[in-house]
Amino acid sequence: MIAAAASLAAGFLALSLVATGLRGRSWASVFVYGASAVLSLGLLGAGLVALVTGGAATHMTLPVGLPWLGAHLRLDALSAVFAAIIGLGGAAISAYAIGYGRQEHEPHRVLPFYPGFLGAMTMVVLAADAFTFLLSWETMSLLSWALVLTHHREQETRGAGYLYLVMAGFGTMVLLLAFGLMAGADGSYDFAAMRAVEHGPALAALVLGLTAVGAGSKAGLLPLHVWLPVAHPAAPSHVSALMSGVMTKVALYGFIRVAFDLLGPVPWWMSVPVIVTGAVTAVMGILFANVDGDAKRVLAYSTIENIGVIFAALGLALAFRANDMQTLAALALTAGLIHAMNHMLFKSLLFMVAGAVLNATGRHDLDGLGGLIHRMPKTAFLALVGVTAISALPPLNGFVSEWLLFQAILQSPQLSQPGLQFLVPAVGGLLALAAALAAACFVRFYGVIFLGRPRTDVAQEAVETDRWSLSAMAGLALLCGFAGIVPGLLVDLVAPAVERALGSRVPMQAGNHWFTLVPVANVQSSYSGFLVMVFVAISGGLSAWLVHRLASRRLRRAPAWDCGFPNADPVTQYGAGSFAQPIRRVMATVLAARETVTMPPPGDTKPARHTAHTEDLAWTRVYIPLIAFVGAAAARLNALQFLTIRRYLSLVFGSLILLLTGLTIWN
Amino acid sequence: MHDLAFDIAHLLAGSLVLVSFMMIYQDRLYALLNTFALQALLLAMAVAWQAFTRDAPHLYATAAIALIFKAIIVPWALHRVVARMGIQRTVETVTGVVPTMLAGMGLVALSILLMLQLTEAAENPLAREDLAFALSVILLGMLMMVTRRNAVTQVVGFMSLENGLILAAAGAQGMPLVVEISVAFSVLIAMIVIGVFLFRIRERFDSVDTEALDAFRGERR
């Protein structure tokens, strides 16, 4: 199976090279995206087969890379889960891009990098030594950076690309340190050798921290998230979907691989920072999403929230594992993995919706849209499925993973450390807050874009998007529903990976009646998405029938917002800023929200202005001082470029003497 | 016999360090070049003595190369350069001679401390002493490059540094002749390149004071 997966990865990379030579051909776009979709389907198949057959690890070594190491590749259950995520996401997004890519003005800026990006992500999950892993990771970063810079003529995009490049380089460097520490003095960079080494608690804590920083900077963990809301929206929409839906999962894979596989058991207190960071990331991410006015940035911030939720689940799994409660650890890890899968489904879907809206109207600011449900009914329906799923409403898939996570949180009193007994319920409260805010955020997202009346002329003249895009979105929406109705299937699917990581698994769900989910045998809680779906269908259908029966079937159009202003301007509707206002005011401290009202002097006919302003405290309190410090230090050190020859020699001489003196004293 | 051999090798290596100090002390260019030739001569003798006591004939070749190139050709060439370009005959120093000498003594102390510590495991006492002296010569050569303004003196400092390298290599069980030849040639080429540069600098600035280059780059000191 590894041979199949590795050749698919090689196929992606080869397709990149082919795409370089296709510049200017009219069919290049269809060919490249079509081939990417086929290869992705193959990858999905390879991952699923590996999982269904029990997730036995297959291994191969290629004679490339470092001469004494070679390139170790391995497909075990954990890799297979993420290979399946990449395959499914890649297939749907590539199919979408067949339609979406036609609108691209400069396809040659996207096509050569797109398949390679997929291939590099595949290589990351297949890598079984630190060198191959880091090389693939960096390739993934650089190719996605090139994709972010597609519209490089815009100033904002260039800034986003630069920020992304800096953060990606930083993350890879930190991961390099983590792997170096794990390899130990004899430099065994093979994962199998790392697994065999015992790590002391101090070293393990350092490695876990470095991995959380390195992988977290790619996934969007607070406070390393700053690049994500600028870089994800700057790319073309299908690339945004790939970065937000799939690449963040690859980053999660990096963390899971180190924390649950390579590092071995860790003390309980090391789970605390992971849980707390995850919960804070979730709340802050969704708060920013609630006040932002740009459709794609809202989605990017929501990605940060979901990554936070998943990290909280992983931290919980670490805490349970440290207490030898393997079944509950398995529950938390299962929740994390399924949420990763679900997030890929609905976040890709929503970015596709944003892309379709962007293509139809040319706008991505929420306040320039509105009323699109009339012009784009199919997209509107699929978007409704997506926002319902991401708001964790049953019977869709978002509910399942959050429910599993809360089941794990409710078991926290069984933990033996009082610190965790207090902390985990508090984190549960934060995650519940995040879930509620997510619902608020997507009510706003959907309401402002699709409901009400068009706020601009372009929104009024929008046309439905093409068939390829619609079918890709419909496929993802169907999967969102399917995964929500038969969640037991997903639990059983990821079970080999959980068992591989923890030696234990959530009980088999396949035999349950009514597709009920019974995560922990001794706890009396269960959930049947199927029954909920049946109930929703019957009650919803019944009430719709009753309403139409008792009232009228006729579609009525009446003047909207007709409260004394029959010809009111569409901008008087409840808009993005109006939705955000309550949350912005309540959370003014953490959002650093300011409102200013400018009144014209008496007698002046200028309008009064009200402006609301929020900022990211991580950016103003951490990054701006840091950037200022780096700038000042660079300005100081600049003098070093203009020394005399003799002074350069003196520098070399001085450092040599310093090192020799150090050596003498040290000896 | 063995003790005498050791003493003579010790004497020759030690006098290399002494000559390095003499080079720091010189304040005339010609005298400096002569002292450098003396150092190269001592180096040749030290290497030849190693060849004799250790019965390693290829070291004779090393000694011959040192003698011909470094004791004769290079000083002679530098003499000609100084004469043809009419360079000012005094050595322009950055700091006074006494602080430089004191710093040099500190460097010798440092290298002896370091080398004797590091090579405690080695059985051969000669190699240990030789390495300590060689490092001293290298550091003194660098010190000279750093504390002199004139390009010719910097070249001499570089050559003296290279003498230290040869001494170290000869002490450590001898190096292959190929390496020695290539080092000698690279030094010669470095000398030629630097000589060409000297002419170019002189043509343009009427001086071989390297500070003139900095003024040309439009920089302040």
CB contact under 8 A, A645 and B217: no
For residue range B97-156, what is the model confidence (pLDDT) as tens digits? 888 889 999 999 988 888 877 777 666 666 677 788 888 998 998 888 888 877 778 888
Q: Are residues A489 and A638 located together in one domain of the fold?
A: no
* Spatial CB neighbours of A7, under 8 Å, sequence gap ≥ 6: none
Closest CB to A646: pick one of B111, B117, B149.
Answer: B149
What domain count does chain A have? 2
Instruction: Report whether pLDDT(B201) > 70.
Output: no
For residues A268 and A322, is the Cβ–Cβ distance under 8 A? yes
The shortest C-alpha distance from B203 to chain A (Å) reads 19
**Which residues of B are less than 8 Å from A645 in CB distance?**
210, 213-214
- In chain A, which residues have their Cβ closer than 8 Å to the Cβ of B143? 653
Examine the pLDDT at B172 and tell me if it is beyond 80.
no
Alpha-carbon span B216 to B200, nearest angstrom: 13
Same domain as A437, residue A499: yes
Q: Is residue A300 part of a domain?
A: yes
CB contact under 8 A, A644 and B111: no
Instruction: Based on the fold, state whether residues A363 and A427 are members of the same structural domain.
Output: yes
Which residue in the set A642, A644, A653 is minimally distant from B142, CB to CB? A653
The pLDDT score that the predictor gives to residue A617 is 84
Name the residue facing A645 among B114, B143, B210 (closest C-beta): B210
Cβ-contact A331, A407 below 8 angstroms: yes
A651 → chain B, closest CA residue:
B146
Contact B211 A661 (CB under 8 A): no
Q: Which tokens is A447 given?
A: 């309401």
User: Could you tell me if residue A253 is inside a domain?
Assistant: no
| Cis status, amide bond into A223, omega within 30 of 0 | yes
Task: Supply A536's token pair.
Answer: 């929703």
Q: How far is CA A291 from the centre of its chain?
A: 19
Q: Does A649 touch chain B (CB under 8 A)?
A: yes
Q: What is the pLDDT of residue A266?
A: 84
Q: For chain A, what is the largest distance between any 2 Cα atoms, rounded to a whole number of angstroms?
A: 97
**From the CA of B135, how many Å to the nearest CA of chain A?**
11
Q: Identify the bridge partners of residue A596 per DSSP, sorted by sequence position.
A: A611
Q: What is the DSSP letter of A14?
A: H
User: Average pLDDT of each block of 10 consecutive residues along chain A (667 residues)?
Assistant: 85 87 80 90 89 80 77 88 92 90 79 90 90 91 90 85 91 91 76 81 88 91 87 87 91 92 84 92 92 90 93 91 86 91 92 90 86 89 92 88 89 83 89 92 92 84 86 92 87 86 77 72 74 89 86 70 65 83 87 87 87 85 90 89 78 89 82
Q: Cβ of B213 and A661 within 8 Å? A: no
Give the pLDDT of residue A346. Answer: 92
Q: What pLDDT does residue A314 have? A: 92
Chain B nearest CA to A665, separation (Å): 9
Are A533 and A657 members of one domain?
no
- Considering the domain architecture, whether residues A297 and A396 belong to the same structural domain is answered as yes
Give the per-residue pLDDT at A119: 92
Instruction: Give the CA distances from residue B98 to residues A92, B95, B104, B147, in Å, rounded to whole numbers and listed in that order.
Output: 79, 8, 10, 12
Two tokens at A327?
């079944």
Which residues of chain A lie closer than 8 angstroms to B211, CB-CB?
644, 646
Nearest residue to B18 via CA among B163, B155, B148: B163
- Predicted local distance difference test score (pLDDT) of residue B204: 63
3-state secondary structure of A163: helix
| Helical (H) or strand (E) element with A203 | helix A201-219
**Residue B209's pLDDT band (cuts 50, 70, 90):** low
A657 reaches B (C-beta below 8 A) = yes
Q: Does residue A651 sit at the B interface (CB-CB below 8 Å)?
A: no
Please indicate, yes or no, whether residues A575 and A627 belong to a single structural domain of this protein.
Answer: no
- Is residue A473 within 8 Å of A357, Cβ to Cβ? no
| E strand or H helix at A435 | helix A418-450
The separation between CA B108 and the C-alpha centre of its own chain, rounded to angstroms, equals 15
> Which ranges of A149-199 does DSSP label H, i.e. alpha helix?
155-183, 191-196
Q: Would strands A594-598 and A527-528 be described as parallel, antiparallel, or unpaired?
A: unpaired
Record: contact A646-B110, CB cut-off 8 A: no
- Asked if the Cβ–Cβ distance from B110 to A660 is below 8 Å, we say yes
Question: Is residue A183 situated within a structural domain?
Answer: no
Nearest CA-CA distance, residue B104 and chain A, Å: 12
CB atoms < 10 A from the CB of A325, how many? 19
Q: Which residues pair with A74 in a beta bridge?
A: A59
Asked if A646 and B107 come within 8 Å (Cβ–Cβ), the reply is no
Tell me the shortest Cα–Cα distance from B142 to chain A, in angstroms.
7
B182's CB contacts (< 8 A; 6+ apart) are: none
Closest Cβ opposite residue A664 in set B117, B139, B213: B117
Locate B34 and state its tokens.
Answer: 């002569």
Contact present, A591 and A291 (Cβ < 8 Å): yes
Answer yes or no: do A344 and A409 share one domain: yes
Count the Cβ atoms, other than its own, within 10 Å of residue A255: 23
pLDDT of residue B221: 46
Chains A and B form CB pairs within 8 A to the count of: 47
In angstroms, the CA A629 to CA A633 distance is 6
- What is the C-alpha separation between A15 and B4, in angstroms, rounded? 76
ipTM of the complex: 0.80
Residue A205 lies in a domain: no
Question: From the CB of residue B105, how many other CB atoms can be counted at a distance below 10 Å?
Answer: 13
Which DSSP letter does residue A365 get? B
Query: Looking at the complex, does the CB of residue A645 fall below 8 Å from at least one CB of chain B?
Result: yes
Does A98 reside within a domain? no
Domain-wise residue ranges, chain B: 2-216
Same domain membership, residue A541 and residue A639: no
Q: What is the 3-state secondary structure (H, E, C) of chain B?
A: CHHHHHHHHHHHHHHHHHHHHHHHHCCEHHHHHHHHHHHHHHHHHHHHHHHHHHCCCHHHHHHHHHHHHHHHHHHHHHHHHHHHHCCCCECCECCCHHHHHHHHHHHHHHHHHHHHHHCCCCCCHHHHHHHHHHHHHHHHHHHHHHHECEHHHHHHHHHHHHHHHHHHHHHCCCCCHHHHHHHHHHHHHHHHHHHHHHHHHHHHHCCCECHHHHHHCCCCC
Find the CB nearest A644 among B117, B142, B210: B210
Burial of A105 (0-12, 13-18, 19+ CB in 10 A): exposed
* CB under 8 A, 24+ apart: contacts of A648-654: A649/B142, A649/B145, A649/B146, A649/B154, A650/B146, A652/B142, A653/B142, A653/B143, A653/B145, A653/B146
What tokens appear for A316 in the block?
Answer: 């919980």
Q: Which pLDDT score is estimated for A215?
A: 92
Q: Nearest CA of chain B to the CA of A653: how many Å? A: 7
Indicate if A273 and A391 belong to the same structural domain. yes
The answer to whether residue A278 is domain-embedded is yes
pLDDT score at A385? 92
CA B108-B113-B114 angle, to 5 degrees, is: 100
Q: What is the pLDDT of residues B41-85, one digit of tens each?
A: 998 898 888 888 877 777 787 788 888 888 888 888 888 877 877
At A227 the three-state DSSP class reads coil
Sign of CA dihedral A153, A154, A157, A163: positive
Nearest C-alpha neighbor of A406 from the set A525, A268, A290, A540: A525
**Is the CB of A667 less than 8 angstroms away from the CB of B107?**
no
Alpha helices in A111-154, H assignment, sequence order:
114-126, 130-148
CB contact (8 A) between residue B117 and residue A667: yes
Q: Which amino acid is at A441?
A: C
Q: Do you know the residue count of chain B?
A: 221
Q: Is the pLDDT of residue B174 over 60?
A: no
The confidence score (pLDDT) of residue B90 equals: 74
- Residues A536 and A633 grouped into a single domain: no
Note whether A401 and A281 are same-domain residues. Answer: yes
- The residue with tokens 């088999």 is A508
Q: Which domain holds residue A656?
A: 622-666
Q: From chain A, pick out residues whose CB is under 8 angstroms from the CB of B110.
A: 657, 660-661, 664
- Tokens (6 digits) for A473: 């979105």
Q: Specify whether the CB–CB gap between A89 and A344 falls below 8 A.
A: yes
Which stretch of DSSP H or E encloses residue A62?
strand A58-62
